[in-house]
Amino acid sequence: MRARAEPWGAWVKLDDPPMLVGVDRDGARLLGLDGGARWSDSPPPSPPLEAHVAVTSRCGAGCEGCYLDATPDGLEPPSAAIEARLVAIARAGAFTVAFGGGEPTTRRDLGELADRARALGLQPVVTTSGLGLTAKKLDALARFDQVNVSYDGEGARYAEVRGFDAAAEAEAAVRALADRGVPVGVNVVLTRATFAHLAGALARARALGAREAQLLRYKPAGRAASLTYLDRRLTRSQASSLGPTLRRLAAELPGFGLRIDCALVPFLSADPSIAPGDLARFGVFGCEASAALVAVRADGRLAPCSFAPPSELGAEALDAMEADGHLAAWRGPASGASACGDCPLGAVCRGGCKVVARFTTGALGPDPECPRVVAARAREEGA
């Protein structure tokens, strides 16, 4: 058991099954934990719970919406550099390290890096396109606690997001990982073209052996930071229907896990049946950039999240990120909208996705695509 004290109690990492659990101070004491300075009147800042590490910016897929703008000749840092970043992440007190890219399986040492992360007390997970999967790459992926394969649906649905049809290869990767006994999920990017076909994509993924899906909002970063974003983002009606859609999918796919990324949380504000306390209880939060989450770019620089521009601070200084001005600007809830002030999800949502806000308005929030923000602005314009 690995634990970390927080002002309200402690985070406790369980190994079987891998799970991060929050307990209050009384529960922490029962486990023999002493909060020390974090239970004082002036606790020090809490470090990130999770770090997203780009282990390469190489990828030959050429997806139209690649958030990193990865290329076949992208940067691939040496093993020693990645290991040093993992040491810094563990030293800072994080629990999970999510390997990404680029395409992580282009690295020959991917399995060894997973082992190194685990030896440092970190839980290693990884996202892959699944394209070009070989027996050797499968062996490397099997050393992670979970592998998520990018999969946006069958045939045309996949092509609508990626710009080419490699759905069959992604499906083969999901099946191969599941047959190997590797915990596997799928990452599904939501666009206005694929939203209506989401149920079919998830049912197909489950049939292939995936145990859960991570639903991702299409974000204007990398190659997606262009005017095409405006045509691909969810429509207002789709965004407002996210809550009921999730409940329907959960009923249709019993036993299949559904997760949403932090950028989708503001869309739940349109659903009056969503209880903020329930979201907080199950760890569903809005923007956690530079707070519970931090990203490490392939060149070693820290970024608020994988989709945000980096600071000049390197990963080796992760324990000093609180003092960095760029990271601080992304930390904390967005402000500046009356719709956020009286929103019941405000404390959980934290103003929505700052990446979207920065691209569409030039500011870091509030999220201009949040249904409540859209409605509030319509009222203001009509007044």
Same domain, 98 and 161: yes
Same domain, 125 and 65: yes
Identify which of 160, 100, 103 has the alpha carbon closest to the alpha carbon of residue 137. Answer: 103
Cβ-contact 299, 370 below 8 angstroms: no
Same domain, 73 and 119: yes
Same domain, 109 and 182: yes
Find the CATH number of the domain harbouring 207. 3.20.20.70
Same domain, 199 and 291: yes
For residue 9, tell me if it sits in a domain.
Answer: yes
Bridge partners (DSSP) of residue 71 are 58
At 259, phi and psi to the nearest 5?
-125, 155
Q: Which two tokens stand for residue 33?
A: 């934990």
Distance CA 190, CA 188 (A): 6
Same domain, 322 and 229: yes
Same domain, 87 and 180: yes
Locus of tokens 């809005």: 286
Q: How confident is the model at residue 319 (pLDDT cuts 50, 70, 90)?
A: confident
Same domain, 7 and 154: no
| Range of the structural domain that residue 14 is part of | 2-39
Same domain, 82 and 25: no
More confident residue, 112 or 161: 112
Tens-place pLDDT, residues 19-57: 889 999 999 999 999 999 999 999 988 989 999 999 999
pLDDT for the residue numbered 212: 97
Cis peptide before 130 (omega within 30 of 0): no
Cβ-contact 229, 355 below 8 angstroms: no
Tens-place pLDDT, residues 322-365: 999 999 999 977 766 677 888 888 888 989 999 999 999 999 98
Distance CA 311, CA 295 (A): 10
Q: What is the mean pLDDT of the chain?
A: 93
Give the number of domains in the chain.
2
C-alpha distances out from residue 382 to 367, 370, 373, Å: 20, 18, 14
Same domain, 98 and 23: no
| β-bridge pairing 18-24 and 2-6 | unpaired
pLDDT for the residue numbered 252: 96
